[in-house]
A and B are shown apart, each in its own frame.
Chain A
Amino acid sequence: MATEFHNLQELRQSPSLATKVFIQRDYSEGTVCRFQIKFPSELGSRIERTLFEDTVKTLNTYYAEAEKVGGQSYMEGCLACATAYFIFFCMETRYEKVLKKISGYIQEQNEKIYAPRGLLLTDPVERGMRVIEVSVFEDRGSSGSSPSSNVSSGISQR
């Protein structure tokens, strides 16, 4: 994953972070969890549009499955109510099961597609389901001695 770096950066454990791109939520269908499929311009050179859009579409499908109000969720809800909600201590809810599937999928995508391109997807659940955070790492041969500190000092000066 680490490409060629300056000498200073080679001493660091992790490759240096250039920027972070945030994919925001798409609220056109209400409060269900859905992310915008719009391809961000900052990623234009790093990854193909179709690959990225497929990832986001698959994630949206997973979240729609988790939040689907249907037969299984009714059963779960009624059973929970009947047991005075003790069932939540014993059983994993369907939502949690789907979230586990999602984190497995994101990990797989990171390993196969994003990491070779110097990108890293962060699971939205770690960001409060607000954004899909795509960390863009420094590409081979790009200049800039310490862009991560520039980013953080830029933030801290606000």
Chain B
Amino acid sequence: MKHCEYQQIDPQALSTPTPTLPPQHAVVQEEKKGETARRKWEVFPGKNRFYCDGRIIVAQQSGVLPLTLGLILVTTVLFFVFDCPFLLKHLTVFIPAIGGVLFVFVVISLLQTSFTDPGILPRATPDEAADIEKQIDNSGSSTYRPPPRTKEVMINQQVVKLKYCFTCKMFRPPRTSHCSLCDNCVERFDHHCPWVGNCVGKRNYRFFYTFIVSLSFLTVFIFGCVATHLALRAQGGRGLMFALQESPASAVELVICFFSVWSILGLSGFHTYLVASNLTTNEDIKGSWSGKSGTEDTGNPYSYNNIITNCCSVLCGPMPPSLIDRRGFMPVEESSQTVATEIELAAKNEINVCQLVLCLSVFVCMAHHHPPLGGQLSGLCSVLCWLMSKCTQGTKDLLESASRSPCPQTGKPQTVSTSCPDSIDPADPAVTFNPDVTSDPDPVAVPSLKCGGRHHSHTTSPPDEPRQLHHHHHNRHHKTRSARSSSKRAALHISNPAYNVSLSPPTSPGLGPSHGTGAEEHVRDNFATLH
């Protein structure tokens, strides 16, 4: 198991470090132990990012949250600047007041949805995982590990299957699902919303609902006010074109509101239905309780069968606290676990491991497709594998050692890019390394991962649910798709942070949404298995 590889490295547990690691790794660990106590968010195993010393949590990719915020801000500002003065003069002062209140509600609920822990379940401790494994082995066959592990429980006289999460090493509680984009199990998982850049789960569903409802009101309100404004201006036979010429910003607002009001109203209506029947988007899409599977009496066991009670329990229920305790300090006796997580942390926070591996795998691809490179392919592969084994020890070490490593072919200390100087065309876009560009790593290049990082994605975490949600439910998010396709075009211009000696925290790290199957962790699995 992946984490245990790193636990063996812990100097406390072993008398000597494993011989495959260079001595500087042990030195790095000693230094890390000597640091002041870390907060738990710093060693969080999921793919979230934290700000303000753990107070704010967001998903790894912000998705289109900046676009959402930008659209709302732009439309509202244009409304206040160009339409409100006219309407204030001709109609009533309540118009800007109501607009202001709605705008405040929308922005605050959006920020709360985005920055609140959605109900992430912390991963099982090794002792718990071992205990569960023991129970499973006792109950099932001991000769082979049966594929998907499930446990059946009775909830309100109805049989519900609980699935085993291979990433978090526990049986998921009911209504909990694993989000592959965030690599966390989330309680009462609704969906991963790219518009807010976060999962929507038990703790932030009420914020999300407030956001979409208030946004519907705001959109309809602005649309109505702008239409009224233009109608008033066009009075007296002057015509709509005249009105538009006098107030062109209103045209912009009209267009934005017109195109967004349908989807937002639809989404609000859909979620109102879900709230009233105490369902999640996940359950609704999978048809868990609608009897599609053919069995009778598959009603929703969580519903109170009363619309008002359902609404109150979902929206006005008690607010559970965050279970991941972001700002707590790591206890000293868990230092053996933090060693493993620190290694992951270093790889995660300083550099996107997959970006580096993608760059290197492109090299291998290039070598495959260029016969003259065949002779140097083995050298590239050995460098690639060696570098991949180093990835998890911390990227700074990696970079320093990579810059110092002798090239297998030329025998000179060189960086990886120049290890095959004669054969790679520097003008080739695949090897254009632009340290300034931090584009989204391409879904196209992910299949080219040579050391089999991808095939692990189906054995560890089941990524189908959120991906289905993303594609079925948010099919109107054409903008995210176009963003993804443009990232495909830009895929070849992969940023290679390996050459960025002065590391800066990744500004927009992360894989494309459809390939956020915890590939980082799976690639790391492979790194571990190479030993």
Q: Which of B121, B170, B188, B324 contacts A31 (CB 8 A)?
A: B188
11 contacts between A and B (CB under 8 A): A22-B128, A22-B131, A27-B174, A31-B188, A69-B318, A74-B316, A77-B206, A85-B108, A125-B321, A127-B128, A151-B127
Mask: chain B, 285-328; 1 = CB below 8 Å from A; 0 = not: 00000000000000001100000010011011111110111000
Which partner residue on chain A sits nearest B172 by CB separation?
A130
Tell me whether A84 and B105 are in contact in the complex, defined as CB-CB below 8 angstroms, given that A31-B175, A66-B318, A67-B318 are known contacts.
yes
Binds A, one of B21-29, B153-161, B267-275, B422-430: B153-161
> Which A residues are in CB contact (< 8 Å) with B301?
30
Interface of chain A residues 43 through 67 with chain B (CB within 8 A): 66-67
A154 in the interface (beta carbon within 8 A)? yes
CB distance from B167 to the nearest CB of A (A): 14
- Besides A31-B187, A128-B323, 8 new A-B residue pairs in contact (Cβ under 8 A), listed by A number: A31-B174, A73-B317, A77-B319, A126-B325, A130-B121, A133-B127, A133-B128, A154-B130
Give the B interface residue count (CB, 8 A): 52
Give the A interface residue count (CB, 8 A): 45
B-to-A contact residues, CB < 8 Å: 1, 4, 7-8, 13, 104-105, 108-109, 112, 121-122, 124-131, 133, 153-156, 160, 162, 170, 173-175, 187-188, 206-207, 210, 301-302, 309, 312-313, 315-321, 323-325, 336
CB distance from B160 to the nearest CB of A (A): 7
- Which 7 pairs, one residue from A and one from B, show the smallest C-beta to C-beta distance? A77-B316, A128-B122, A156-B4, A84-B108, A128-B323, A27-B153, A69-B313
Q: Which of B131, B174, B315, B317 contacts A20 (CB 8 A)?
A: B131
CA distance A128 to B44 in the complex (A): 14
A129 in the interface (beta carbon within 8 A)? yes
CB distance from A56 to the nearest CB of B (A): 17
A-to-B contact residues, CB < 8 Å: 20, 22, 25, 27-31, 66-69, 73-74, 76-78, 80-81, 84-86, 88, 93-96, 99, 125-131, 133, 149, 151-158
Which partner residue on chain B sits nearest A98 by CB separation?
B318
CA distance A155 to B324 in the complex (A): 23
Most B CB within 10 A of own CB, among A94, A129, A156: A156
Tell me whether A95 and B318 are in contact in the complex, defined as CB-CB below 8 angstroms, given that A30-B174, A128-B122, A156-B8 are known contacts.
yes
